[in-house]
Each structure stands twice: as structure tokens, then as C-alpha cells.
Amino acid sequence: MAVVKQVLTDSRWKTVIKSTISGTNSNVTVLDASDLLGWVAGSIPALAEIKWSVSVSTKLSWAATGGTEVLHFDGNGSYGGSDGMPALRCTSTAGGAQGDLVMDTSAACTGFLVIVYHKVETTIGQGGGWSA
């Protein structure tokens, strides 16, 4: 099992992370929200865009209580960004891993994910950045 993560950018409102995948992966964290700039308890991200190339069926899910499956994909593709699809907001409601994104692969996998996360401002329009 191996997922090597590279943070390409981490600003007050957006994070881009590239994950290079090899091996069989079960419940591997591809986003640890608490590592991001500006994170405070209760902060939640949204998956705004993803590009992938994977050799087997792969599933992304929000971690912690109430977290649900975000995407299930195989092969090459993309979601969000310029195609106009909406961001997929974190659904986890509690727990130490709130806001984290985890990955599962159906078998040994090689490939990559490039994911753009938006940091959801909890007090909309206040310019306060990413906060609880």
C-alpha cells in the first residue's frame, strides 16, 4: 500500500493535492483537513474538482461520523472545474477525522489523483476565511 501526497498549493481558500497511488489501499487518507492552512475545529472542505487516472475501481469517502461516499470511478476522467458541476461538500458531522477524505481501491492500483478543495467559509460574506 502506498499513497504519496504532494501539496501543490494551500491558500486561505483553496488547496490542490496530487496523490500518486500504488498497491491496494483501504481507508487511506488523501486529505487530512487539519493539516491545511487556516484550519480550526469544525472547518469543512468541499471537493471542487478532481482529475484521475487509476487502474482499478476507486472510491473516495468523507471520513468521520456521517461521512458518505463522494465518488466512485475507474480509468481516466475528471469532475468539476470547467465542466460546471457543483462542488461536493463534506458530509461528516463529527469526530476526529471530520473533513478528511479517504480512498479505497478494489485491488492493487497504480495511478494518480489531482484534487482541488475549496475551504468553505462558515460565515458567508464576512471575509473571515476558513473558520469554525
Q: For the residues 70-74, what does the mean pLDDT come to? A: 94
Does 92 map to a domain?
A: yes
| Measured CA distances, 110 to 30, 43, 60, 120 (Å) | 15, 31, 15, 31
* Full residue range of the structural domain in which residue 23 is found: 2-119
Has residue 16 been placed in a domain?
Answer: yes
Query: Under 8 Å CB-to-CB from 40, ≥6 apart: which residues?
Result: 130, 131, 132
Domain count, the chain: 1
Q: Tell me the CATH number at 74.
A: 2.60.120
Q: Which positions ≥6 away from 41 have C-beta within 8 Å?
A: 132
- The answer to whether the beta carbons of residues 123 and 22 sit under 8 Å apart is no
User: For the whole model, what pTM was predicted?
Assistant: 0.86
Residue 126, in any domain of the structure: no
Q: With 60 as the cut, is the pLDDT of residue 131 above it?
A: no
Confidence check: pLDDT of 112 > 60: yes
% of the chain exceeding 90 in pLDDT: 45
pLDDT of 53 > 90? The answer is yes
Residues 15, 101: contact at Cβ < 8 Å?
no
Does 115 fall in a domain? yes
Average model confidence (pLDDT) for the chain? 85
